[in-house]
Chain A
Amino acid sequence: DVKVTQSSRYLVKRTGEKVFLECVQDMDHENMFWYRQDPGLGLRLIYFSYDVKMKEKGDIPEGYSVSREKKERFSLILESASTNQTSMYLCASRRGPKETQYFGPGTRLLVL
């Protein structure tokens, strides 16, 4: 079974803090994704990566950056957290361009 894990289920941070969200997949998948999920807005893509050290902006990249130094790990970074970044963050991975996406359990981030 594919397993996508995220470093925290719940996280509370203060405005202005630098926040790291980690995602690890154990199936040697090429592609990895970061989404945020907000009520009524569905899943919106922040960034994705189709190879190590490669990254592409999604629909809402502002205020975020990412890092993919190893194939199995994709990190989402909030350089200076703001209250409007309070959200559920979901990581996903897939093997190839036509394959199914597998999601992690999500990190619920609260920025105070």
Chain B
Amino acid sequence: GQSLEQPSEVTAVEGAIVQINCTYQTSGFYGLSWYQQHDGGAPTFLSYNALDGLEETGRFSSFLSRSDSYGYLLLQELQMKDSASYFCAVRDYGGATNKLIFGTGTLLAVQP
């Protein structure tokens, strides 16, 4: 089977740093994406890692280790507006018909 494991909930305080981990077990792997979803809203794209290493976009960074089937999303200088669900997703195939396999999501609560 195919699975992506994420913690179900994480709590942190404003200004802190939080890391959301994702381990995956899939038949194919062509990259790891992260999406953010606010309550009642649509998921929106945050970052994508196709190769090992760290990708940085402002306060958010994403890391991938393909040998460990592991990645994480790092959020720095947390703000209240970062309270949301975060999903990791694996692209399963390199061709035109590839699809994303999503994890079950991590609910991040940022407290004042």
| A105 vs chain B, min Cβ distance (A) | 5
Query: Of residues 82 to 104 in A, which have CB atoms within 8 Å of B's CB atoms?
Result: 90, 92, 96-98, 100-104
Contact status B102-A97, CB under 8 Å: no
Task: Count residues of chain B with CB under 8 A from any CB of chain A.
Answer: 25
CA distance A88 to B44 in the complex (A): 16
Chain B interface mostly = loop
Task: Count residues of chain A with CB under 8 A from any CB of chain B.
Answer: 27
Contact status B87-A103, CB under 8 Å: no
Given A33-B99, A97-B95, A43:B42 Cβ within 8 A: no
Contact status B105-A105, CB under 8 Å: no
Q: Which residue of B lies closest to A105 (CB)?
A: B42
Q: Is the C-beta of A12 less than 8 angstroms from some C-beta in chain B?
A: no
The residues of A that contact B27 with a CB separation of less than 8 Å are: none
Q: Mark contacts of A15-29 with chain B using CB atoms, 8 A cut-off: 1 yes-contact digit, 0 otherwise.
A: 000000000000000
Query: Of residues 25 to 47 in A, which have CB atoms within 8 Å of B's CB atoms?
Result: 30-31, 33, 35, 40-45
The residues of B that contact A41 with a CB separation of less than 8 Å are: 104
CA distance A100 to B42 in the complex (A): 14
Q: Is the C-beta of A61 less than 8 angstroms from some C-beta in chain B?
A: no
Contact with A42, one of B44, B94, B95, B105 (Cβ below 8 angstroms): B105
Top 3 A-B pairs, shortest CB-CB distance: A42-B104, A103-B42, A43-B102
Told that A48-B97, A105-B41 touch, could you supply 12 new A-B pairs with CB distance under 8 A? A31-B96, A40-B104, A41-B104, A42-B104, A56-B99, A92-B43, A97-B97, A98-B31, A100-B45, A103-B42, A103-B44, A106-B42
